[in-house]
Chain A
Amino acid sequence: MDFSIFINEYQFYLAGLWTTVWLVALSLLLGLFIAVPVGLLRSSENWLIKGPAWSFMYFFRGTPLLVQLFLIYYGAAQFDLIHETWLWHYFQEAWFCALLAFTLNTGAYTAEIIRGVISTMPKSELEAAKAYGMSEGQILRRITLPNSLRRALPAYSNEIIFMIHGSAIAGIVTIVDITGAARVVNARYYAPFEAYFGAALLYMCLTFSVIFAFKKWESRYSTR
């Protein structure tokens, strides 16, 4: 085994790490903007409102992320509406397709977390707040949000880790993220073990930093 490859190419790996980080972070952020309204709609009693949110979540949670990425990256060209218009400018870019697929995917999973938190919201706390004469806004800020955030955090930290792991497939569609960097290094030196071992180490650092950060945050929430 020859780990000098990893030392020679560390800048390339670091560039890959940066791509993974911004791709995942941006997907998670944009995914939240989808997840909050979808999760709220999904909690509605009315099937006309609940239905579309349910179908969106059902599709994106029931199919592999790889298929969703291929559907967007390879499948988009099949439609003249995309292929012949300004949209193609974006859909021909691998990073855009990956960002879109990851955002929709994490949006669906996070919406499920939000739905779960809403459906298990303790009613008595809301009633107590109302009895104290708090306004709707005060109840949301003082009771609903802190309570649901605390209960959603463990599930959401899992979602972030799943997203970091899932983002490895971006390397398949020509993006030079950590996996992409490892693939290029492997092609250059034909040293698959060393190349992918380096990638595994970087992913491990990333995952464990996230786990550590969330542990800290959760402990702060629970002690207060």
Chain B
Amino acid sequence: MVELQNYSGILLEGAWLTIQVALLSLLLAVFLGLLGALAKLSHSVFFKSIGTLYTTLIRGIPDLILMLLIFFGGQVLVNNLSYNLNEWLNRLLTDFNPQHEWTAYLPDYINISPYIAGIITIGFIFGAYMAETFRGAFLAVEKGQLEAATAYGMNKYKLFLRVMFPQMMRHALPGIGNNWLVLLKTTALVSVIGLQDMVKIAGDAGGSTQQPFTFYIAIALVFLFFTSVSSLLFSWAERKYTIKTR
């Protein structure tokens, strides 16, 4: 218990990092989810197939694999790309000017930060799940409402902002809540790519104090606290925004 107190400050920092990663990924996920849902519902075959490909692929690949692929694979891919671009630019310039000296226009080593990679991966994964949620919610909005809005002379954007979006959100709220709870727990994976989140700090502290159980149970309780508060907030929001029927 004494050890836990010694580490409480750094554990809280880790908890804050976990929340940051979770919230930023949620933001990205909602954005991608809206795009994905609109793509799946669009009349263009091209957009429709991109949307379907996105949501299908994500359902097939575990989050950890995708994270390792983006973090480690992305690193190699970005570096190869910048190396090849450098070579190509220099060759091009030498063709025009034989006296040209080789210069690195792009850095030859770009470090992808685990923070960014984690947020992008989690946002990308949950964007697909959000897309399914939003798609269902868009379809749940009554057609008559949209026809009425058109009859009132609203243009496409006004119709979306004033009629479609607010009603769609109401239907999407339970789904968003579920996705958020899963997302929150998925953030634990960023410790694997070296980010100093709660899980990583608990592992290090548990190793050096030889009390791994104490530290892991402590962060498990913090996660439990986060998920409990989230479900309370979401059930409050759902109650507030439900359509009151007479």
Contact = CB atoms under 8 A, between A and B. Distances in A.
Interface bracket on B: 35 or more
A76 interface: yes
Chain A contact residues, majority secondary structure: helix
Given A70-B216, A193-B76, A207-B60, A62 B228 contact: yes
Q: Contact size class for A?
A: 35 or more
Contacts of B64: 168-169, 171-172, 179
Interface in A48-93: 58-59, 62-68, 70-71, 74-79
A193 B73 contact: yes
A193 B60 contact: no
Interface stretch (A32-40, A159-167, A216-224): A159-167
A63 B224 contact: yes
Contacts of B191: 66
A47 B228 CA distance: 20
A70 B61 CA distance: 22
Contacts, number: 122
B199 A66 contact: yes
A64 B65 contact: no
Interface residues of chain B: helix, strand, loop or mixed (majority): helix
A165 B192 contact: no
A194 B72 CA distance: 10
B223 A64 contact: yes
A13 interface: no
A19 to B, nearest CB: 14
A71 B75 CA distance: 31
A172 B192 contact: yes
A208 B60 CA distance: 7
Interface of A: 58-59, 62-68, 70-71, 74-79, 161, 164-169, 171-172, 178-179, 182, 186, 191-193, 196-197, 199-200, 203-204, 207-208, 211
